[in-house]
Structure 1
């Protein structure tokens, strides 16, 4: 049986307000091509399909379009679980229609789905709380999948510990997750391909800034000893950096996010995982690199002229840019507008100015009107002349506070 593991799509996510939907659509296209080319039988999506509980309609449309294409009319099986960013109810609501396409959508930990057969042949031939047995066209063996959607205390509907110490909370959480996973593993058989799919933070995992998790690490870190030793493969979601799990008793990986979602992930490779498994044998793992989406780059320019030269390479125009420029004075609004005109992918602009802006001593700056003091301060912080609206807003807020600036709060 050939299984594809992916996770953390975060459909609908933006980059500082800039839509990534076209890049996410490119990923879906590449994924569907890969699934067809590699003869995949089962696709598992390990949570955080959407970026927010109430995703935009375009993101939902893209997800359901992806499910339909991946399932190929029910000839392949698809299992998707909710992550901490997903609404369990919203995800599971489509299950009555999903079954006809061989798709299983798991919103809550230990959720039980009914058995049934899709129109293309993929079927749930048995099921129980948190597990499915799947029959898939073209496979002699069945798959038993233990599904643990994001298991927060709220979604488990349990209080795991009455104490507040982090180490005791973590031990209690690990023990509860271990008990759940070991319980699911009792459904594994010697004649089936046995999988676990979950959305967890494993202790020691390498995080990325873009995860913006509701809860990550600390008390909700799970130790590797919680994982069952009789699974062929454990497919995880939650961390955006692709990585294995140290100390896991069986092959276990985070597939990571398909796109880089913050500049902390600049030049970080992205991937999906293909697993080949058969009863009685250890699974083989193939990491498949992804090339979709616009790369994120941090560019440090010594001058505006150097940045203009960099923009002359057409390849550099197809990326999102975190720009840092050294300059002797703040950029003018016209220069900022020209930067964005020449490179619409510039997301952030930071200007590094020399100390002592304008060479004016502090005693001279203190004698300036408050409006001019703030203008100089904002120019120093932004690296370019602040809009008049910002200065007006500051003066309005200052007036509400009685017209004085707290000492040390506006250091020029």
Structure 2
């Protein structure tokens, strides 16, 4: 049996204010072709199908067009779980209809974890693979609110709740294991030791729910994870992996290799695990350094290997303010306009011995990347400069999380 693990599509995502529709379509077309070429029988999508809980009509159309086409391939089973960006109700709305096409959707956790245990059958209607399709576990799914609990107690309760959710499958999958039937778990979480980029939202306040590889039961032959956008193993464990996002979702991912994983099972054992590189159609590039160096990098940049113009982030380092800086850069960019588009122009870094407070703020604050809690913290620091703001920020973050969960459900 051959299985493909992917995650974090984020259909409908916008970078600054530009849509990624062409890039996502390029990936989905490649994925369909790869499923046929590799003779994939099971497709696992581990959360964050969409970038927001209220996806655009364009994003929904991409999703359903892909599912329609994948049903016509050799892939016999598709399993999709919800992520922290997904709306449970949006994913679950067509699940009964999709079930008729062997597309199983688990948008969110239910009262009975066995609703997430999926038995896949072969052509003889015999079980050949068991999937514990765990979606993103929200706070309310893994712990009860306890008045007065402190930060450490809350962290421990979230970790215990997530670990207990996976442990609940063990007595139910052991009979399958005894028959030599492989068991795969899915998840959408922040595992301890994982390498994040700038584009992941905190999955719990402060990313409290970080569990390690040792907390996944040994009965799982493979754990297909989503949420982190860089492909990686968890704590160096071969069979517990993040596949990462199929396209770079922020400029912090410009050097990341985007992949999907292909797994082969024979006689109940994982015999092969390969990564397939996803071809890039649009490059995200960063230019940073002294003005002469940046201008030289822009002048020699070659985008001929990519079908779409590159998007650039630019930041110049100066010894002193330069009045015609933008004009100089625009002259160079005009010559590259057919292959390079400036998306983010960060304020220049002035390399002087002493900087004014105004310059420091101008360097640190970028409205494209500033988070709500950063704004709240700066307001606290301004209003109460001599106070400790840790508890206030934690409370504010929890309110943001609760508001997000209500909007997504």
TM-score range, shorter-chain basis?
Answer: 0.7 to 0.9
1:116 is aligned to none
Question: Is the Cα contact below 8 Å between 2:35 and 2:73 reproduced in 1?
Answer: no
Give the alignment's Cα RMSD to 1 decimal.
3.2
Matched, 1:181 2:166: yes
Question: Is the Cα contact below 8 Å between 1:49 and 1:82 reproduced in 2?
Answer: yes
Task: Give how far 1:312 is off.
Answer: 6.8
- 1:159 aligns with one of 144, 147, 150: 144
- Distance change in 2, residues 1:43/1:355 (3 Å): closer
Tell me the alpha carbon deviations over residues 229-271 of structure 1, each in whole angstroms, 9 at most, x when there is no partner: 11111100011111101165x7110000011111111111111
- Distance change in 2, residues 1:334/1:139 (3 Å): farther
- 1:146 aligns with one of 132, 138, 158: 132
Question: Is the Cα contact below 8 Å between 1:75 and 1:102 reproduced in 2?
Answer: no
Q: How does 1:8-407 map to 2 (within 5 A)?
A: 8-72=8-72, 76-110=76-110, 128-137=114-123, 142-154=128-140, 156=141, 158-159=143-144, 164-188=149-173, 189-190=176-177, 191=179, 192-215=181-204, 218-246=207-235, 248=237, 251-300=239-288, 302-303=291-292, 306=296, 309-310=299-300, 314=304, 318-325=309-316, 329-331=322-324, 341=334, 342-343=336-337, 345-350=341-346, 352=348
Normalising by structure 2, what TM-score? 0.75
Task: Give runs of ≥4 in structure 1 deviating > 6 Å.
Answer: none
Normalising by structure 1, what TM-score? 0.75
For 1:142 and 1:210, locate their aligned partners in 2 and report how far apart those are by CA, in whole Å. 37
Structure 2 regions of 5+ residues with no counterpart? Answer: 364-409
Tell me the alpha carbon deviations over residues 194-213 of structure 1, each in whole angstroms, 9 at most, x when there is no partner: 11011111111111111123
Question: Is the Cα contact below 8 Å between 1:146 and 1:185 reproduced in 2?
Answer: no
Task: Give how far 1:216 is off.
Answer: 6.1
For 1:217 and 1:185, locate their aligned partners in 2 and report how far apart those are by CA, in whole Å. 29
For 1:51 and 1:131, locate their aligned partners in 2 and report how far apart those are by CA, in whole Å. 26
For 2:28 and 2:12, locate their aligned partners in 1 and report how far apart those are by CA, in whole Å. 13
For 1:84 and 1:353, locate their aligned partners in 2 and report how far apart those are by CA, in whole Å. 35
- Distance change in 2, residues 1:33/1:89 (3 Å): same
- Between Structure 1 and Structure 2, whose CA radius of gyration is higher? 1
Structure 1 regions of 5+ residues with no counterpart? Answer: 113-126, 357-361, 363-376, 383-412
Task: Give how far 1:311 is off.
Answer: 5.1
Q: How many residues align?
A: 348
